[in-house]
Amino acid sequence: MTTAQTPVRELAFGELYARVQNFYAHHMHLLDSGAAAEWAETFTEDGVFAPPSAPEPIVGRQALTAGAREAKARLDEIGEQHRHVLVSLDLIPNDDGSLTTRTYAQIIATPRGGEPRLFLMCVTYDHLVFEAGELRVHHRRVTRDDRP
């Protein structure tokens, strides 16, 4: 881990790319496993999540936690495990040290005792920032392929 102390602005592209991929894996596993408050902590304090299904954006960790908790409770009720898989990362490092990303998002649903299915295909547009060396989602917008 030779680059742990390197200022983020001096990180090579490959280093940034891996850190973002690892961040997304961790971030989505928290959501999928129902760790709602820990998931909200991976947003900035004033983080914004504009999902396609909500009438208006969800803002701030408290609202993010509540939203994730409610979504998980609904899935537990119907006995489904969801997995959010972010692939095809397109990463643009910005001059201010923040990152602009676009990913394809597969949401996969598996009912207890049943076969998995591709539930939603989305595109996710993020603005990520580093806070004390840790990546955080500052702003997220998601579009659904079934609603062009």
Interface residues toward its own copies, by CB under 8 A: 1-4, 10-19, 21-22, 24-26, 28-29, 81, 83, 85-91, 93, 102-104, 106, 108, 110-121, 145-148
Tokens of 49: 């999540």
Least distance (Å) between residue 128 CB and its own copies: 15
Which of 69/83 has CB closer to its own copies? 83
Which of 56/147 has CB closer to its own copies? 147
Alpha helices in 79-144 (DSSP H): none
How far is 97 from 76, CA to CA, in rounded Å? 39
Tokens of 112: 């207890």
Least distance (Å) between residue 79 CB and its own copies: 8
CB-based contacts of 38, cutoff 8 Å, min separation 6: 30
